[in-house]
Structure 1
Amino acid sequence: KDDENVNSQPFMRWRDRFLFCAEALYKVQAETGEIKGHYLNATAGTCEEMIKRAVFARELGVPIVMHDYLTGGFTANTSLSHYCRDNGLLLHIHRAMHAVIDRQKNHGMHFRVLAKALRMSGGDHIHSGTVVGKLEGEREMTLGFVDLLRDDFIEKDRSRGIFFTQDWVSMPGVLPVASG
């Protein structure tokens, strides 16, 4: 994947990076006969610019784009999510900046709230962290928000940070991806 900090710096413009990555993908697929993927970071300063990047990725035939949904914003994420679903692209969600919001014990908001907001906003999969490693979280709490992301119905379970029963009805889930 592109790094979450990579969007379009002067030393690495997004269009050049997208072209380079697409060329590398097609080359390695031809050499191995295997399907490969790369998450092209479409995060940008405006929603219109993100859509432009997603359109270009689609034109290149790259099947996955990535968005930093907290830095990009929920409305922009929703617009990008709709574009991706309508045009056959997968949308990988990165949670860059989450620790500033959810790692403080005395203020901020828990990631389960951010996870619910993401599910309503849209995306196909997200870096969810794990119960071990760099993005480690409390085991039961992590499993609780993982279930909030993917399951259609969640029973109240305070030990996992689920404070009320949640029925997502037909709202699509988001696949948690172990990372870090």
Structure 2
Amino acid sequence: MEYADFLDETYEPDEADLVCTFRLVPGAGLSVGEAAARVASESSNGTWATLAPESDVAQYSAVACDIGPAGDHGTEVTVAYPEALFEDGSLAQVLSCIAGNILGMKAVETIRLLDCEWPAGLARSFPGPQFGSAVRSELLDAGDRPPLATVPKPKVGLSTAEHARVGYEAWVGGLDLLKDDENLTDQDFNPFERRVSESLEMRDRAESETGERKDYLVNVTAETDEMVRRAEYVADQGGSFVMVDVVTTGWSAVQTVRRRTEDLDLAIHAHRAMHAALDRLPQHGVSMRCLAQFARLAGVDHIHTGTAGLGKLENEDTAGINEWLRGEFHGLRDVLPVASGGLHPGIVDDLLAALGTDVMVQAGGGVHGHPNGTEAGARALRAAVEAHVDGESLESRAETVPELATALEKWGTETPR
């Protein structure tokens, strides 16, 4: 087959096709159409040499079928892939096709996978989330407000006793969840099993004192078999959540953990560490929208998606990604988006105005950096969120919540960097 066989702008994608939108800048000497044809060829069944196949393989060829106008970072092109190209339930195989060799081809100067439209059959071959946004009421007592989480700061270096104490103070201050950060796993200064058992003991104490369900997002990130063992340990200790660094562990590992957590009744909190290696440059890589899609297929229950520009990290269409995670997707459960990174009580109102209240809000320094300590910082964050849900201004709520007043005096409404 010639490269030209992979370009057909008259083709209308079939409902069983996986339809991918890319943005590309063609390599030297190639038109956009020629580059798009090479993308379709390389990501399905083409090659640089002319072949005379013994069987008809055209039915398994991807087709570049739409070329849009040029933009700031390239031209959008659509490639339709027949569903027969893909192995059901294997994210690794699917992504090797649609985000594999093509990212390094000379035929494109830059290329970015922007979005995917998933056929029902392929999407339903994945489990999707076990709980999704239902964790708010099934595992926690958040009700209609955003669940609230915090990472102890500094995120590594605390002893087990210090870590558990910070968790207790955050829980009794009104937060729902303690969370490990991406690089806290099983270090000598805070060993995994001791941290889990002691932190959950403090959780039980906080639940008894507050009358609210509390829990702990335990980072089980490790080699795949060890992640499963750690998830089992969390369940044995009475925890309801595990956390996985989904990009660094890989999607197949996430799928393995998801299969085991089905039996353990554990929800999966997805941290996106390393995502920016794929999505930060607007002209190349894989978009956060697509990473969120992969995570939903693999079966996570919540995933960090950004703060709509209000925190310390770069963001890419956070509101749009969140809307997709909450929307209908071939019968799979939804995913609860997580806003995190540089948040504090003074910017919660703007955050929730931009993203809505169907999110999890996670603050670290914006809780523990409170002048009166972690418990006061937790009370300030809870008050700020409840004020928004109740339609009350932060300033008004601060008149009756001194911890919030102190937080506003310290941080105002400025976004950290």
1:39 aligned counterpart, secondary structure: strand
Identity over the aligned pairs, expressed in percent?
Answer: 42
Q: What is the deviation of 1:147?
A: 2.0
1:72-111 paired onto structure 2 within 5 Å? 72-111=249-288
Tell me the distance in 2 between the aligned counterparts of 1:82 and 1:124: 13
Letter in 2 for 1:33: G
| Pairing partner for 2:197 from 9, 12, 19 | 19
Q: Residues 33-88 of structure 1, C-alpha deviation per residue, up to 9 Å, x if partnerless? A: 221111011111x2110111110100111111111100111011011112222321
Which residue number corresponds to residue 151 of structure 1?
A: 327
* Residues 302 and 336, structure 2, Cα contact 8 Å, conserved in 1: yes
Q: Gapped runs of 5+ residues in structure 2?
A: 1-178, 342-417
Aligned with residue 4 of structure 1, among 175, 182, 192: 182
SS in 2 for 1:173: coil
Q: Does the alignment pair 1:112 with 2:273?
A: no
How far apart in 1 are the matches of 2:280 and 2:224? 28
1:136 Cα deviation from its structure 2 partner: 4.6
Higher gyration radius (CA)? 2
C-alpha separation between the residues in 2 aligned to 1:74 and 1:172? 18
Consecutive unaligned residues of structure 1, counting only runs of 5 or more, are: 153-167
Aligned length: 162
- What residue identity is the alignment partner of 2:332? M
Q: Which residue of structure 2 lines up, in the alignment, with residue 39 of structure 1?
A: 217
In 2, Cα distance between equivalents of 1:136 and 1:105:
11
Q: Does structure 1 retain, via aligned residues, the 8 Å contact 2:196–2:218?
A: yes
Structure number with the higher strand fraction is 2
Structure 2 SS opposite 1:8: coil
Matches of 1:38 and 1:101, distance apart in 2: 29
Distance 2:325 2:313 in 1: 17
Relative to the length of structure 1, the TM-score reads 0.84
TM-score, normalised to structure 2's length? 0.37
Equivalent position of 1:62 in the other structure: 239
- Partner deviation per Cα, 1:71-130 (whole Å, 9 max, x = no partner): 111011011112222321111111111122211123221111111111111111111112
1:124 has 2:285 as partner: no
Any idea what SS the aligned residue of 2:194 has? Answer: helix
CA distance in 2, matches of 1:177, 1:39: 13
Amino acid at match of 2:260: Y
Which amino acid letter does the alignment assign opposite residue 225 of structure 2? E
**Contact 2:180 2:218 (8 Å CA) reproduced:** yes
Question: Which residue of structure 1 lines up, in the alignment, with residue 229 of structure 2?
Answer: 52
Residue 311 of structure 2 aligns with an amino acid whose one-letter code is G
1 CA distance for matches of 2:279 and 2:339? 18
Aligned: 1:30 with 2:208:
yes
Q: Where do residues 138-177 of structure 1 align in structure 2 (5 Å cutoff)? A: 138=316, 141-152=317-328, 168-177=329-338
After superposition, the CA RMSD in angstroms is 1.4
Kindly provide the CA deviation profile for residues 1-29 of structure 1, in whole angstroms up to 9, marking residues without a partner as x. Answer: 01111011222221111112111111211
Give a deviation string over 1:140-162, Cα, whole Å, max 9, x none: x222221222211xxxxxxxxxx
SS of 1:92's partner is strand
